[in-house]
Amino acid sequence: MSVQQIDIYLDGQPVKSHYYISNGCIMIPALFFKHANVLVDYERENQCIKMKQNKTTITFIKDQYEVLVQNENQIKKETLAVAPLELHGKFFIPFQYVTQHLGMSFSECSSPNRIDLVANHSARSHQAVFYKGPANKKRVALTFDDGPDQVYTPKILDILNGKKIKATFFVIGQQISKTPEMLKRIMNEGHEIGNHSWSHPNFIELMASDLIKEIKSTEAEIHSHTGKFTPNLRPPYGFVTKSDIQIINDLGYKVIMWTVDTLDWTGLTDKEIISIVNRDLTEGAIILQHSFQSSTSKLDGTVKALPVIIDKLINEGYEVVTISKLFE
């Protein structure tokens, strides 16, 4: 079976996916529909994919031609021309069938490997995603991802403490379990804590239940050591779909992105990091840095650049605040 790449233009925006043709049907990974704000989940016990939008739920059973469609209190069985199939760890389902039952429309373009799709605009779309704070306040937020660790996190905390600056740390659940004392130090020194998932996966590749588990496990770990909950979450890599955002918001979080990406994790020098901040700094900016040493990256540039960045911000009249304070 030949699986190829395809560009699906969802409401005019390209989303790369894969597909194959079987019995005249376009088959694509179920997770693609997360981009159209469809909740996609997998029930391992029954080996079925559930797709839900508004009041419609479609249940596909792996390798079975029978499908269940539920609208409010009505459930009906239908027969598919092609059974859902698992390939390379992805569940492929009939594209046309889903778009029809969820009120979407599509057209195949004359150009090769492209489809235009118009999503169901009656689906919930109010979503809270923040890239920066208000532009009318001369404030900026310093944020640090992927920690805590015992190498760079204490060095960063020492600098912040010396400069009397409060920052926001988006923490990984696995890292908290290894260094809980560092999480407590972050809190005790007055910094803000944000949720950054349990294991740093790509949210786009997660089913709904797995995404919720990543978030709730981390929140439980944070609460067990601090007694507090956090209202802010940053998706790993900044990768997120409309469906993911809806789930995150429904769990009570704001999705926090960034304005200034220092790319410090790539091993940039302090001068290179400072140059990026100088170039991209605006009022209300959220500056992204990291506080965890991995096997592939070192953050010596971050540690050297941080006091210079703080001095620059203060000298230019910026108030350096936590994420929550930024949005007050």
- Cβ burial, residue 92 (10 Å; 0-12/13-18/19+): buried
Class in CATH terms, 129-326: alpha beta
Q: What are 257-292's pLDDT values in tens digits? A: 999 999 999 999 999 999 999 999 999 999 999 999
pLDDT at residue 297 in the model: 75
Catalytic, out of 35, 145, 244, 264 = 145
Q: Residue 89 — left, alpha, or beta (φ > 0 → left; ψ -120 to 50 → alpha)?
A: left
Counting as low any pLDDT under 50, the low residues of the chain are none
User: CATH class for domain 4-118?
Assistant: alpha beta
For 147-190, write each residue's pLDDT tens digit.
999 999 999 999 999 999 999 999 999 999 999 999 999 999 99
* pTM score of the predicted model: 0.94
Instruction: State residue 145's pLDDT score.
Output: 98
* Catalytic hit among 121, 196, 290, 311: 290
Question: What's the pLDDT at 73?
Answer: 82
Domain ranges of the chain: 4-118, 129-326
Distance CA 176, CA 54 (A): 37
Q: What is the pLDDT of residue 295?
A: 74
pLDDT at 110: 56
Residue 125: its pLDDT value, please? 64
Q: Other CB atoms closer than 10 Å to residue 68's CB: what's the count?
A: 15
Active site residue 121: no
Is 145 annotated as catalytic?
yes
* Sheet containing 56-61: order of strands: 39-43, 48-53, 56-61, 66-71, 74-79
| Alpha carbons 238 and 146: distance in angstroms, whole number | 12
